[in-house]
Amino acid sequence: MSATTSSRPTFRNLPRGFGLIVALAVLVVAASLISPHFLNPINILNVLRQVALYGILGVGMTFILLTAGIDLSISSIVGFVGVVAATLMGMGYPILIACLIAVAGGLLIGVINGLGIVVGQVPPFIMTLGSMVMTRGIALMIANGSTVNLGPRGDDFFFLGGGFIFGVPTPIWVFALVCVAAFVVLRLTPFGRAIYAVGSSPEAARLAGINVSLVTFAVYLISAGLASLSALIFLSRLSVGDPNSGVGLELEAITIAVIGGTSLFGGEGGIAGTIGGAMVLAILANILNLAGVSPFSQQVVKGLIIVFAVLLEAGRRKRA
């Protein structure tokens, strides 16, 4: 009958974060052995920039997966928002206005996803599959199938994706801010608790007085918002609006979250794991690049990693 609140780690929660840290350590050691270039500061910053670019999408996907949902449309939002922003800048709109309008467009996709899932009761997979295809189509229509030039605004805008603050690339700062905000929301706000509750059991959440529809709607909006943000960073780095940019990123985001220990079945996981997951993937890609492995073989390796991560997770569940 002890009512103490000691946060002694138990058998159940130790291996989860532990495995990820071990994996990261092994990767770092392996990378520095394979190539002397790995520990070069410039390479490290490159890796971290990769972490930031994909990690932002991983954070959005973490919110979604925690509610036991899925959002496939983020890859198309990256293309769509990029093309809209590029087009507006090319027409001479100020950078801020162009970005705001483009992000509003991205959020609109999130609203459509949310309404379809909450009001229309369409399964998240189907709903976001539909909006993924639709949004990509709109991006291609706007760009008329080709790329869109940023015009003279592009030079100033390059700062977001390619600039530095105190010697650290801007996207890393953006990612850090996103992570802190996401961590606070998930761990320290009633809304964050509600997300875990909805993912654990929607019926219990409803009976516990949680507005399940609102929470579900909100996570699709968050996901679309973060996808829009990363769209702008991609656009800034590429300096050209490509309606085909972002293809396949939804799988990258899911991989990051799942490697980070977020359950596809909802209610389990968090931001710290997602950061770790993004690092594992980025370092792995870096090792393979440094070792001169072809991009085709890299895909095979990445696929194996996903399966391996999920197998480990399944093993952990069985033991628990």
Partner 1 sequence: MSEKNVLALQGISKSFPGVKALKDVSFSLAAGEIRALVGENGAGKSTLMKILSGAYTANAGTISVFGETIEHPSPATMIGKGVAVIYQEMAQAPHLSVAENVLLGRLPRRAGGLVDWPEARRQTAAVLARLGFDIDPRARIDTLSVAKRQMVEIARALTRNARIIVLDEPSAVLAASEIAQLFAIIRKLSAEDGVAFVYISHRLVEVFDIAETVTVMRDGEVVHQCRTDEIDSETLIRHMVGREVGDIFPKRVPKIGAEALRVSGLSAGGLVQDASLYVRRGEIVGLFGLAGAGRTETLKALFGADRAARGTLTLDGKAIHLASPRDGLANGLGLVPEDRKVAGLFLKQSVGFNITISSMRHLVTGPLLSRVKENAIVDTIIRRLRVKTPNAHAAVQNLSGGNQQKCVIGRLVGAECSIILADEPTRGVDVGAKREIYDLLFELSDSRQLAILIASSELPEILNLCDRVYVMREGRITAELDARRTSEEEVMRYATHN
Centre a 10 Å sphere on the Cβ of residue 297 and count the other Cβ atoms it contains.
10
- 15 Cβ contact list (under 8 Å, min separation 6): 316
CA distance 117 to 220: 9
| Binding piece for partner 1, criterion CB under 8 A, among 2-10, 47-55, 171-179, 279-287 | 2-10
217 binds partner 1 (CB under 8 A): no
Which range in 155-163, 172-180, 198-206, 281-289 contacts partner 1 by CB under 8 A?
198-206
196 is a contact residue toward partner 1 (CB under 8 A) = yes
Closest CA to 185 of 217, 218, 157, 211: 218
Residue 301 found at the interface with partner 1 (CB under 8 A): no
> Hey, what are 117's tokens?
């899932």
Q: Is 197 in the site for partner 1 (CB under 8 A)?
A: yes
Phi, psi for 247 (deg, rounded to 5): -55, 130
**One-letter identity of residue 120:** G
Residue 100 — left, alpha, or beta (φ > 0 → left; ψ -120 to 50 → alpha)? alpha
Q: CB 11 → partner 1: shortest distance, Å?
A: 5
**Which position among 210, 222, 231, 282 is part of the footprint of partner 1 (CB under 8 A)?**
210
Q: What separation in angstroms does the CA of 85 have from each of 17, 23, 33, 170, 316?
A: 39, 38, 42, 19, 44
Supply the minimum distance, in Å, between the C-beta of residue 310 and partner 1: 17
Among residues 41, 120, 167, 190, the one that binds partner 1 under rule CB under 8 A? 190
Least CB distance from residue 267 to partner 1, whole Å?
4
Interface residue with partner 1, options 41, 120, 209, 248 (CB under 8 A):
209
Write down the H helix ranges in the chain: 14-34, 41-66, 74-90, 95-118, 124-142, 154-162, 170-188, 190-200, 202-207, 212-238, 249-259, 271-290, 295-319
- Applying the rule CB under 8 A, the residues between 260 and 289 that interact with partner 1 are 267-268
| Total of residues contacting partner 1 (CB under 8 A) | 32
Strands 168-169 and 164-165, bridge-based pairing: antiparallel
Member of 142, 205, 258, 275 binding partner 1 (CB under 8 A): 205
Residue 164 pairs with which residues in a beta bridge? 169
Is-contact 50 280, C-beta < 8 A? no
First to last CA, the chain: 23
Out of 147, 200, 239, 289, name the contact with partner 1 by CB under 8 A: 200
Q: Which is nearer to partner 1, 40 or 189 (CB)?
A: 189
Does 180 bind partner 1 (CB under 8 A)? Our answer is no
User: Sign of torsion, CA 8 10 15 20?
Assistant: negative
- Closer of 203 and 296 to partner 1 (Cβ): 203
> Does position 181 bind partner 1 by CB under 8 A?
no
Figure out which of the listed residues 41, 203, 292, 314 binds partner 1, where binding follows CB under 8 A: 203
Query: 5 to 64, contacts with partner 1 by CB under 8 A?
Result: 5-8, 10-12
CB neighbours of residue 71 within 10 Å: 32
Choose which of 4, 121, 167, 248 interacts with partner 1 (CB under 8 A): 4
State the nearest-atom distance from the C-beta of 261 to partner 1, in Å.
13
Residues that bind partner 1 (CB under 8 A): 1-8, 10-12, 184, 188-190, 193-194, 196-197, 200-201, 203-211, 267-268
